[in-house]
Structure 1
Amino acid sequence: MNARLATAAALAACLGIVAPASAQHAGHAMPAVPASPAPTPAPSQESPQEPPQATPVRTDHAAMDHAAMGHGAMDHGAMDHDAMDHDAMDHAAMDHAPAPAAAVDLALPRTPIPVPTDADRAAAFPEVHAHHMHGTRPHTYWLLDRLEIDDGDHGRGTAWEGSAWIGGDVQRLWLRSEGHARDGKLERGDLEALYGRGVRAWWDVLAGVRHEDGEGPSRTWAAFGVQGMAPYKFEVSATAYLGQGGRSAARLEAEYDTLFTDRWILQWRAEASLHGQADPALRRGAGLSTLEAGLRLRYEVTRRFAPYVGIEHERAFGETATLRRADGEAERETKVVAGLRLWF
């Protein structure tokens, strides 16, 4: 290092050039050191003239401002540390941090993304046939929503309500049944076979037949209705019936589940029955005939098996209440129920 500086100073002295304002010493920003002209010896007659000898330039490290030096960019391996006066250096003020990496040029040209063509869209979204969107293999579902015993004003009774379907995602065959018995004798029960078709998410339209039997004459009806899940997760069903002799009827049902925990669930249920004309043989009057409302608290041991307890209230209205009173029955009844809810 010192030899190079000496050579540079000698050349500068020979050419009469003053040293630059600042010199770089292995990455150090050093103050300028004026070059001293070397003495020119007198020419000798006996020997040819020898080139002048340059005076080595010595660096005063004590006078350096090391705080302003960028030591991260220095080549410390090429320095002659033995010749440096380290005692006079202020190493605490030096910037020993590594030099920052070269900035990445974010403005480099990039290949633009090609605009999607119609062929690209067709390849990404191929036409899907109906049998791909909706499976053709039939599935089944069976739900026994209520299988219970009750303790009412007229003794102990049993009741049931269930539904099932077989089919695909859009078209299904529905089976629905509901009824009650008292003292081991069927009071009234019905069975419905309905064709259902999905018209939108969570909603089906239904059409089929209903047959009911029990005490009194049996009845057969043509059934038309809709069922599904209303906003706020209310499960609703509305079915209209047409029978012989111009008879007509309707049944409206609604259920809602309140989740206390993942296993404790309170079910709210209401059902209304209406008839277009009176049917004295079955103690039914025209208009709103009966209204049932109740709640049941179930514990789901599994999703498929859940015992429950609850309370149910039934009331007859209008002409139906009059016919019941004439037959010695009460127009309203409240009963405690206990049962099971099963599905498979």
Structure 2
Amino acid sequence: MNLRPLVSLLLAGAALSAAPAMAQHQGHSMPMPAPAPAPSPAQALQQSDPHAGHAMPDSPAASDDKTVDPHAGHAMPEGSMPAPDAMAGMKQETMDHSTMDHSTMDDAMPASPGPEMETPPPPEAGSGPPRAADAIWGADAMRASRDDLRRESGDFPVFWFQGDRLEVHAREGAEDYIWDFQGYYGGPTSRFWFKTEGEGAFGDKPESAEFQALYSRAIRPFWDLQAGIRQDLAGPDTTYAVLGIQGVAPYLFQVDAAAFVSQRGDVTARIEAELDQRITQRLIFQPRVEINMAAQDIPILGVGAGIDKVEAGLRLRYEIIREFAPYIGIEQTWRIGNGADFARARGEDPSATNYVFGIRFWF
């Protein structure tokens, strides 16, 4: 069958039906819109972002590539963001501080007070007269103020008393007691100093007892020069002139040394040294040594020439309060040379070990 005549007929009918619609626009010149180009991938992402076109605050950079950048699609000013390769080099361990300008940082930081405090005083400091106020107010008016200043700075009298040893010596077949007290009244540089010590057996009179009255004068920090008299209150009546020194030696050794000259011309000396070793805040360990010497034999006193007697002891005390401390210890006594012979002549053992119980107090 031949279809060509049928197709020609259908095309002619379609052209006749479209002729009236085209006749309505005859004489009009209307531009036809160009077809819209296909959007790029970036524009498509921007159209899907609800924040597109909004100014967003700065936020930290993403820690990895999977995090979506909130600034995607925004037009950023040129130079406001560093290049990606520059950001990669800004890790702390890879930053080159030698290329950074620290001068502005130093200006912003406050200055340390150290250099100002260590700055020496100006040359004119202390160059004025020592009593410049006297020229204005007069010496009489300033004398009372100057005395008040000395008193407020520590130049005032103080009373101090200490029972250094009040103890019982126990040994095989005998027990005896010992006291050793001292104290002073006065200011920081000059004082009246008193000392007393002695020993005896329980139930008997004291075997030895003495009292010293001394004037003490500071000769250097921690050291006093002392001079005065000593009176023996037990045994032969003897009076001594005393010259001594007392203070704190290096490493905190308490030292008391004195020479004695009796009215008979006998010359003796005594050196005492002790050291407080603090184990705790209240427990103190104290080694102590005492050496007695004489320039000649003194038969009336039972004292031999040279080193006559040595005492060495260890004491452990506990401070219940700072002013009161019981203690225990052990002490060894030796009589040496002619002193040992005098001891044997009186029926005494020249060497003795004593167990010590006592208290130490002060106020």
Q: Once the 2 structures are TM-superposed, how far is the Cα of residue 288 of structure 1 from its aligned partner? A: 1.0
C-alpha offsets along residues 102-151 of structure 1, whole Å, 9 cap, x if unaligned? x69959xxxxx9x9462x54579978968745644310111101111121
Residue 212 of structure 2 aligns with which residue? 192
1:169 and 1:192 map into 2 onto residues whose CA distance is 20
SS of the aligned residue for 2:275 comes to: strand
| Match of residue 300 from structure 1 | 319
Q: Distance in 2 between matches of 1:157 and 1:234?
A: 28
Q: Could you tell me how far apart the structure 2 residues matched to 1:292 and 1:117 are?
A: 57
Cα 1:256/1:96, change in 2 over 3 Å: same
For residue 336 of structure 2, what is the aligned residue in structure 1?
317
Correspondence list, 1:158-307, <5 A: 158-184=177-203, 185-214=205-234, 216-307=235-326
- Counterpart Cα distance in 2 of 1:296 and 1:342: 15
Distance (Å, rounded) in 1 between the aligned partners of 2:354 and 2:107: 79
Residue 328 of structure 1 is matched in structure 2 by 347
SS of the residue 1:246 aligns to: coil
Supply the distance in 2 between the matched residues of 1:87 and 1:285 (Cα, whole angstroms): 109
- 1:153 touches 1:333 (CA, 8 Å); kept in 2? no
Question: Deviations 1:225-260 (Å, cap 9, x if unpaired)?
Answer: 111000011111110011122211000110001111
Partner of 2:40: none
Going from structure 1 to structure 2, the CA distance change for 1:315 and 1:105 (only over 3 Å counts) comes to closer
CA distance in 2: counterparts of 1:238 and 1:142, whole angstroms: 19
CA distance in 1, matches of 2:189, 2:148: 11
CA separation of 1:117/1:287 partners in 2, compared to 1, >3 Å: closer, same or farther? closer
SS at match of 2:212: strand
Which structure shows the bigger proportion of residues in strand conformation? 1
Amino acid at match of 1:179: G
What runs of 5+ residues in structure 1 fail to find an aligned partner? 1-61, 63-70, 73-85, 98-102, 108-112
Alignment-mate amino acid for residue 223 of structure 2: W
TM-score, normalising length: structure 1: 0.65
CA deviation profile, 1:295-319 (whole Å, cap 9, x unmatched): 1100011110100000111110111
Aligned residue number for residue 163 of structure 2: 144
TM-score, normalised by the number of residues in structure 2:
0.62
1-side partners of 2:211 and 2:148: how far apart?
A: 32
Query: Per the alignment, in what secondary structure is the counterpart of residue 322 of structure 2?
Result: coil
Tell me how far 1:198 sits from its aligned partner: 0.5
Counterpart selection for 1:89 from 57, 74, 85? 74
Identity of aligned residues (%): 38
